[in-house]
Structure 1
Amino acid sequence: MPRRKQQRPEIQHIPELISHIGAFLDPPSLSTCIRVSRLWHNTLLPLLYNSLDDNTCSWPEIFTHLLPSKRWNPGDWTEDFIRAVLHKHGGLIRHLTVRWALFNNAVSAASEFEDGSCTKLQSLKIFGTNRSAKFLEQTCFNTWWNQDKSTWDQVEPLLSPLFAGPFRPIIHSTKFWSQQDWITFQRFWMLVYNNRSTLQRLRLDTSIGRMKDLTEEFYDILASCPRLTYLENYYQPLDLEHLLDRMPQLHHFVDHFALLNRGALSKPMPQLQTLHLNGKLSTHSLFLLLKHLPNLDQLYIGWNFVDFSERPGPIMGDTKSRLTGLHFLLDSSKTADEYIATSILPWLPNLRELTLSHLGPCTASAIPVHCQSFESFKQLVTSSSIHPSYHMGTIDNTISILLESCPNLKSIDAIQHILQANYFISYLPTWPCVKTLEHLRCQIRGISRLADADQEFTYRQALINVMIDQPLTPNQKKARDIYDFGHVVQQPLLFARLAQLTNLKVLDLGMEYRKINAAYGRSKPYYKVGAKRYVEYGGPLPDTLELTLASGLDKLKTLKKLEVFGFEGCNHRIGHEELEWMVEAWPRLKEMRGLQPVRLHCLERDISTERLNRYIRKLKPDIKHRRYPPPTVK
């Protein structure tokens, strides 16, 4: 391009651009450059700063350089640098996640300027972190509220008259530390207050510093956020009824404390749609919530059902709940099975989702009777392995009641529940949910399989004797009968039944199968291979499906929508031929569970699985290999 001879007056207000490239471009080229720069700025910067988490990207490194021990060589990263970034781009931030006190204070300070910086937040989440003592000054909210506390009579400094009186902090250590946390505390609430017109989601954490008393001024700040519909409380116990009185706009409330501060509700609160209570709840409180929250859609609660004498009739009257999802977050006892079936489910005609630690036969039988639109059962997994030494607390074939009786069933996520192979032989009708079921995660057990290498050798000898017309020994007859029953009778029926589930997206038949605590006992079950010593964790479960083409795997070619296939813990005998078939038959397959690397103390390498993993990666590199993620209820 020709050298620029004269600068236009209208672009003199862009000194950075002029100083860097103005001397190398003529006016038309410079004008084009400015327009392109503005387009990039207006398009990409809002995307870049829309969501900001101060514990990702380079932010932790920046804050680490600002610690007292690093201040002698901060480089380009200074507090002025952070302020400059926030003043320039803070107005673009919509979703903010904070873990560093320094950043909390900087964002709050930026929100006080009249340039609109950091005043358009739609969601604000605060998390506490545990770090070593030398990090406390700048990196975390130093509030150990479980220690002895006393009121700090002379709170200073005050950053706003808002905190003069009602917001009384709790002192927990030296005055210096308390003042530091008092500043962080004020900064956080000022940030909430300055974003009150736009804030829609808020997560409170105890690390910002607890107050001695939750006065009306605390609820005033929350009530001043007209668009705040989602509140997550890790802060301190709140009065649920008073909170809902002050926040008619609140639709979703998550509370992580043991008990509601003043029990359940005493009057109708129509606004709440989702209630998540991690604490234990009595049956009496449960029925009061169902009665006074008429528009409640999802309820997540702990479990404290020790008194099963409470009946819903006197509380509920003739009113049935509109609840569509009920999720118990703690392990439930078998005694509760009948109570759920007779005293809870009849009041939930619209129930579609249920989460329990195990599904009992009474509950399973009551679901199709009282909840005719039922779609999903999720098991709250209570063990980290399906090894036989871990107590599952489930009854075989219970989930078959749902498969047989719920025509709208979409998902069964219950890996500790077992369908026995004999069930598939005895139950011949087609499941009514074959066209709706999308997610099936359970164990299929009881397959007749040869027990070990010796029995397999005996079976091969039997085949040879049959070919040469020689009589079979008793052991050979036994091995042949075991093999034939599994491969000729059981597995064809099993694969044929699974092949009917043409809308299936997830088929997962196992999970971690080892005795994972074997290495931590007093007498560790070691064995040696050459000079190396390994822990005996146990092998795959012997009575599971053989997932080979010879056993009928190709019948599952009808599962064209399958995206996730899991077989960890199955004695699957998958080889290269089966992997090639899967890639071709299931074009949407994007995740496999069973060939991923496993790391346990003194665990012998599984060379066969490693080879299969490498081969499938060559066939289809985009397939992810991982274990089923840790169980969560959302």
Structure 2
Amino acid sequence: MKLNFLDIPELVAHLAPYLSPADLLSCVQLNSTWNKTFIPVLWRSIDDSAQSWGYILHQITDPRPQPPPPAAISAVTVETTATAPGSSPFRRRSFDTHKSCVRDSDLIKDRDWLFAIFEKYGHHIRELKINHTLVLEAASRKETCTSLHTLVLDLNLNAEGLCLEYLPLPPAPPQRPQLPIVPGLGVMVGTPGLDANSAVIPVAHARGFGIAPAITLAGTGTFGVGPALQAPGPYQEPDVELSKPLFPGHLKLADFKTTTLHGNATPESKRASLEHIWTLTQHTWHLIRVNPGLLRLDTSECLQQGDRISADFVVATLRLLKHLKDLDVNDYMFGRVEFWKLWDALPAEIESLSFKSSISPAVFPLPEPLPVANMSLKVLLAGGVTTVNGLLTLLGIFPNLTQLRVKEVEENPRYTSSPNYTPLPPAPFGGQSLRKLEGIVQDWYTVFRYIPSIVVWEIGNECLREDVALLLKECCLNLETLRTFPPWFIDRSYISGTQGNDPTNQFLITHRHLREFDSIKNFIKVDEMLREPWTCVGLEWLTCRIVGLDRLTPVEEETVARIMALGHSADLSEEETGVVEKFNRCRAQHHGVYDQLASLTRLKHLDLGYENRNPWTFKGEYYLGEDGKYYLEYEPPVFDTLELTLESGLGRLGELRNLELFGFECLNHKIGKTEMDWMAKSWPKLNLMYGLDYERLCSIEHDKKRVALREYFTKLRPDVVHDSLFHDDF
């Protein structure tokens, strides 16, 4: 049994029956000192997603008997008046405690225990992350958690444990009657018993447009749409009488939309569900309002129906948070509030304002007159469409922004008669500190010309084009990160340089400050790569394809093996000479690529491959697998890529001691157990591998060699996770 000073209260409780009064008094004094010293530390940060909290809350919300937790969990769930479940920093460490130290009463926690412990120690909490509605109620109802600095709400509307733990689920909607299908024709549409009014509609149309039963054709004209299909008039959901407010001084019924929920459930179920939402909403906003000292509020993952709360109430609540520095919200709770109305309610010292969705609220159009410039805001992630002029004006309002996200930045209107036209300012109003700009930008040339400080650029679904690379070379030599979104697959036109010149290699030569290049659509031709060394020696992330290597065919490999065998004649035929020259050229190319990569000693992420098999345009042919099943025939791996064997020079990458991810999906590699042994030993920090994950395309036969290599490497390095950059499971 391992013990430490955190177990003092439990030890005293077990030893007390055997102590003399004097010794017992000393223990009580020790416990008092222990409480005064460590209680504030243990309760400073609470996260109810911790393992101990999960077990406790499960027992409270589910009265059915549960098996006792394992010893490691039992030690954490033994909570006396001196400990906080899931608290940090001490409770993040796992330690073993014998089950005999766990009292039976500690295995059963009820609702009253949870409320009492928050009432007693809630004033010590400074950082609170809530995932369970029951914890939200405990923190809100007693009004003791009033000294929070950070509040993170990650609530789900359907979670159990608030006032309606056993909320009955609404009954399933009645099933629509199945339409009879006429073989070879389609769906029989018509009123039962009225054959004259029936018709046959093709299955494709019926499935595509959801044709309902009982559609008659009598007097309906060409398309067979009669009066029975006329849309009913607008229906207004009635208001529901809800319970009185739990906290009359805060959220009132007048600030809450009381119309019933949509759906096919019974009125009783709808009212119960709305009452649940009403109660949950009250506790959420009450906990926010009783903590005016909040520095950070994060509701970005809180799934609540914020459209039921009046915008005036939200604004009034934000005005109470006079010390707020960081606000991270979503459309569920703040969707009805206009951006600039919300901005007026925030303190002038706000540093970060983030909206999870880029759809709303929108920063643009800008209000008139323009707001006073704010020097504190550093991060603004919002929505809205504007022009380059509007972007520069926004940067004038927030001149110290380091990160900005908008939905789209359009080109300036070309004609002065346009209502959106304003001439470009002679100098940028702001943006001198802007390092990252997210959004669809149509005129990057003007943006980079006015905001040369950008060092993080996300292109989106595009790849790095030659004209863009020239622009970056001219305006943004200090660029540190270039990132694109991975496509569904790499089209054949992107393979082996058939698309034309790719600027990636020249980009890596000219941008010495580059830290991350993440664009699997782009490729590097090996001949260009070997002409000039890269200057980005501090590169930490490289996601790109290297193509154009000379690779031997199986016949050529047999020829080389025969030539290199002892006793072979020195006289070679012209064909054999060509094969040997190709072999030497292939080895020289591999060594050059490995040496270039090995010079990037800070590299943590190296991904050289991606799914090249188009999941939609496969050959359409099936073949019979060894297991007797039929599988689709896809394109083979990219031929002219790295071999990745020790024989080809893979050992030169032993300098990459910081490597954490290695990817080789769909490469024409020959990795075997020898290479697996080498990777396991040479890359001690490796924790993620792309290339041995199970196939993700539809109807594709698993590669036995890949499966065997994964099983083998898992035994060598069970800590390494196997995944894929290709996430679409077809």
The residue that corresponds to 2:585 in the other structure is 485
Check if 1:269 corresponds to 2:369. Answer: no
State how far apart, in whole Å, the 2-side matches of 1:129 and 1:165 are. Answer: 19
> Which residue of structure 2 lines up, in the alignment, with residue 352 of structure 1?
455
Report the CA distance between 1:207 and its aligned residue: 3.6
Equivalent residues in 2 for 1:379-418 (5 A)? 379-383=484-488, 385-386=489-490, 388=492, 397-418=502-523
Say whether residues 1:573 and 2:674 are aligned partners. no
Q: CA RMSD in A?
A: 4.4
Q: CA separation of 1:17/1:88 partners in 2, compared to 1, >3 Å: closer, same or farther? A: farther
In 2, Cα distance between equivalents of 1:478 and 1:39: 85
Secondary structure, counterpart of 1:397 in structure 2? coil
Residues 212-270 of structure 1, C-alpha deviations (whole Å, 9 max, x = no match): 67444422211211232221221204322233332112211112252445624333333
- Could you say what secondary structure the match of 2:289 adopts? helix
Matched with 2:343 is 244
Identity percentage of aligned residues: 24
* Aligned counterparts of 2:594 and 2:168: Cα–Cα separation in 1: 56
AA of the residue aligned to 2:487: T
Q: 1:108 aligns with which of 123, 134, 140?
A: 140
Q: Tell me the alpha carbon deviations over residues 394-429 of structure 1, each in whole angstroms, 9 at most, x when there is no partner.
A: 97532334312222222212222211112124x32x
Q: Alignment partner for residue 157 of structure 1, among 244, 251, 276?
A: 244
Pairing partner for 2:18 from 20, 24, 29: 24
* Equivalent residue letter for 2:374: M
**Which secondary structure does the structure 1 equivalent of 2:354 belong to?**
strand
Compute the TM-score of the two structures, normalised by the length of structure 1. Answer: 0.78
Q: Corresponding residue for 1:495? A: 594
- Counterpart of 1:314 (choices 412, 423, 427) is 423
Per-residue CA distance 1:19-39 (angstroms, 9 max, x = gap)? 753221235654665577567
1:57 has 2:57 as partner: no
Cα distance in 1 between the residues matched to 2:306 and 2:360:
17
How far apart, in 1, do the equivalents of 2:49 and 2:543 lie? 35
Question: What is the alpha-carbon distance in structure 2 between the residues aligned to residue 43 and residue 546 of structure 1?
Answer: 61
Gapped runs of 5+ residues in structure 2?
A: 1-7, 67-106, 171-233, 262-269
Tell me, in whole angstroms, the C-alpha distance in 1 between the residues paired with 2:326 and 2:166. 27
Cα 1:139–1:602 shift into 2, 3 Å: farther
Take 1:192 and 1:148, find their aligned partners in 2: how far apart are those partners? 36
1:149-298 aligned within 5 A = 152=239, 156-158=243-245, 159-164=247-252, 167-173=255-261, 174-203=270-299, 207-211=303-307, 214-234=310-330, 235=333, 236-247=335-346, 248-255=348-355, 256-261=357-362, 263-265=364-366, 266-267=370-371, 268-277=373-382, 283-298=388-403
Residue of structure 1 in register with 2:468 after alignment: 363
Compared CA separation, residues 569 and 42, structure 1 to 2 (3 A):
farther
How far apart, CA to CA, are the structure 2 residues paired with 1:37 and 1:345?
Answer: 63
Counterparts of 1:530 and 1:592, CA distance in 2? 28
| Amino acid in structure 2 at the alignment position of 1:172 | T
Match of 1:420 in 2: 525
The 2-side partners of 1:612 and 1:440 are apart by 24
The correspondence of residues 437-516 of structure 1 with structure 2, limited to 5 A, is: 437-451=539-553, 453-454=554-555, 456-457=557-558, 460=561, 467-468=568-569, 472=573, 480=580, 482-488=582-588, 490-515=589-614
Inter-partner Cα distance in structure 2 for 1:224 and 1:398:
53
Deviation at 1:437, TM superposition (A): 2.0
3-state SS of 1:417 partner: strand
Letter paired with 2:544: C
The answer to whether the Cα contact below 8 Å between 2:381 and 2:404 also exists between their aligned partners in 1 is yes
Question: What is the aligned length?
Answer: 592
Cα contact 1:264–1:288 (8 A) shared by 2: no
For the 8 Å contact 1:360–1:394, the answer to whether it is kept is no
- In structure 2, the partner of 1:120 is 148
Contact 2:152–2:297 under 8 Å retained in 1: yes
Deviates more, 1:393-402 or 1:374-383: 393-402
Partners of 1:393 and 1:189 in 2: how far apart? 58
Q: Distance in 2 between matches of 1:165 and 1:591?
A: 52
Residue 442 (structure 2) pairs with residue 328 (structure 1): no
With over 3 angstroms needed to count, the CA separation of the structure-2 counterparts of 1:308 and 1:467, relative to structure 1, is farther
Kindly name which structure, 1 or 2, has the bigger radius of gyration based on alpha carbons.
Answer: 2
The AA in structure 2 aligned to 1:208 is Q
| Residues 130, 140 of structure 1: 8 Å contact kept | no
What is the aligned partner in structure 2 of residue 9 from structure 1? none
Offset of residue 189 of structure 1: 0.7
Report Cα offsets for 1:32-74 as digits up to 9, x if no partner.
Answer: 655775677678766765554545536566656666xx66879
Residues 362, 382 of structure 2: 8 Å contact kept: no
User: What are structure 1's unaligned runs of at least 5 residues?
Assistant: 1-13
| Aligned counterparts of 2:15 and 2:698: Cα–Cα separation in 1 | 59
Q: Which amino acid aligns with 2:512?
A: P
Give the 3 Å change call, closer, same or farther, for CA 29–271 of structure 1 in structure 2.
Answer: same
Kindly state the Cα deviation for residue 457 of structure 1 after the two structures are TM-superposed: 4.0
